[in-house]
Structure 1
């Protein structure tokens, strides 16, 4: 009796950290995205509390004014690119294959890789606060001329945004490929749930 790789795709689940590092299961990767989004939400929320504490009363100096501007920039980037977007992708990873009758995502290894770009990018973003010359203080939009005056912190941040964007693009390619190619027989585009349509559009 012969067997194929597909027959054992999810039969033997590795234990411990190996399961999470090398998983290609859409539910595991969706869970990783959701946990990452929650952790980044806590990091961004802690920054928000420090920002609000600084603004609690006129003249109150809890942190250095320049560091305040840097933290405001990083807080916004953490919340948008670290909490909100990965949270949405986590729900998409969990729901889309089940909603269209697919066994998994179309490109499971790409799915894994697109997630594992995020922790490195997030670490780089947090590190950018502590590089020589200080972190980015240009606001979360990173518009010039403030970005050309910021030093290494801005360079780290722009590279981070590129990594986060790469992760987002790879995840989008995977989701679109899954929706267009992995639907169950009889699941036409017009029969797809609205949640799936929002991701396709």
Structure 2
């Protein structure tokens, strides 16, 4: 005979498993939205600043993961308590931590990035255009073709189509210069308006 307590546990597990499946679908949907935003909506931006890494990337991602942990706290505690053994508990801890970070990155992280890039764009379009010249580090013509260079000591790349740099595939990048037309945005980030390549 199945006890009432046993039936309650089974019902609880089924309920949480349904939530788990829903969360996986949401993560997949958010990943698709993030990819669409990155490739079709996000403005072309170059630059680097530790404040972006701290306040836009790390802070929002960690805060979102903590929020998800609180939301699913009862279930996580149940899984932790009912599974014995250090190895299993360590796996549960790592698995759900990664899940929470991924969920947060593709949800709150994407919206935080989009909000910051909109603010950066609004700041940049009211700034004067600037011309910059950089040494080219590499013409990358394989998956995700790009022009790689260093800006103020930080690695940068401009994503391009293969046909844009096909002619430079067998060339020495040290023989060329990258010309950029940009507008200053927030912190040390710039809105990229146009680029061109010239031989030295």
| TM-score, normalisation: structure 1 | 0.31
* Bigger fraction of residues in strand: 2
Considering only CA atoms, is the larger Rg found in Structure 1 or Structure 2?
2
* Bigger fraction of residues in helix: 1
| TM-score, normalisation: structure 2 | 0.31
